Structure 1
């Protein structure tokens, strides 16, 4: 997993022309790990097949 995150960080930094200093890498990796863990929770949440999206959103 670490190799994939390193590859991802390098690719995104290169694509966006962002500097990615070595000192920042642990914090960026930690943030990505948390984001991936949260995304997995959402992705794994079971939803019924007949669920329809809301037609109107309001606050």
Structure 2
């Protein structure tokens, strides 16, 4: 089993789930953006964190 999702299938399923009509002319761009998002998320998920790091209970910029 792979960790990679099929971006086109994901776009179609999410659009159907939320009842969003997706213009066929716009679909390739939406799929391309989901692929970019997937690549960025993969980098974040692969970033190693030390075991002693704890999640902050409150976000303070």
> If the TM-score is normalised by the length of the shorter chain, which range does it land in?
0.7 to 0.9
Q: TM-score, normalized by length of structure 1?
A: 0.79
Counterpart in 2 of 1:42? Answer: 44
| CA RMSD in angstroms, aligned pairs only | 1.8
CA distance in 2, matches of 1:56, 1:23: 42
Aligned residues: 57
Answer with 1 or 2: which has the greater Rg: 1
More helix by share: 1
Mind listing any 5+ residue stretches in structure 2 that lack a counterpart?
1-5
More relative contact order, 1 or 2 (CA 8 Å, 6+ apart):
2
Q: Which runs of 5+ in 1 are unaligned?
A: none
- TM-score in terms of structure 2 length: 0.77
